[in-house]
Amino acid sequence: MITPIVLIAQEQMGDLSFKAGTWGHNYYVGSQQVSFDVFMSELNTQNAAVGNMFKSGKNLSVVGIVVGSIGSFCFGYDIGTRIAGGKGNTALLIGGGGVMIGGIIMYYVGEGKMKKALTLHKNNSTALYITPTPIGISLCLNF
């Protein structure tokens, strides 16, 4: 009776990965492409903290893309004005460049958090943590 329970408990999840795509990230469980929700469900099964780290990294990388795009537009607009023979705005050029660089940094920090979360997920074969349940708090042991 105990052997089947132990074998079920030790079942390994598919290898999780993600790749940058044209309109965002593509998420994979093994070699199969899945939605973000399925990917997060697989990631959260072992340790919710790892899932939260991954989601935080994803949010930071998206904010970095938005901020970097705004900075790139301002920077490019001023450069284009100068190339066309107009008088550029130095504050717009410097500010846009700074915001663009800040966005790029945020993007790569977010990507790093996402990769670190997957590394922790792959290396975390045993985890002991306390988690909330519908009826209270429970102590969980995953292996």
- Identify the three-state secondary structure at position 89: coil
Q: How far apart are CA 72 and CA 93, in angstroms?
A: 10
| Region of residue 49 (phi > 0: left; psi between -120 and 50: alpha; otherwise: beta) | alpha
- Can you give the length of the chain in residues? 143
Q: Give the model's pLDDT for residue 9.
A: 40
Q: Which residue from 41, 59, 42 is spatially nearest to 109, judged by alpha carbons?
A: 59
Cβ(113)–Cβ(52) below 8 Å = no
What digits encode the pLDDT tens for the residues 55-74?
999 999 999 999 999 999 99
User: DSSP letter at 15?
Assistant: P
Domain boundaries, the chain: 2-142
Q: Please tell me the pTM assigned to this model.
A: 0.70
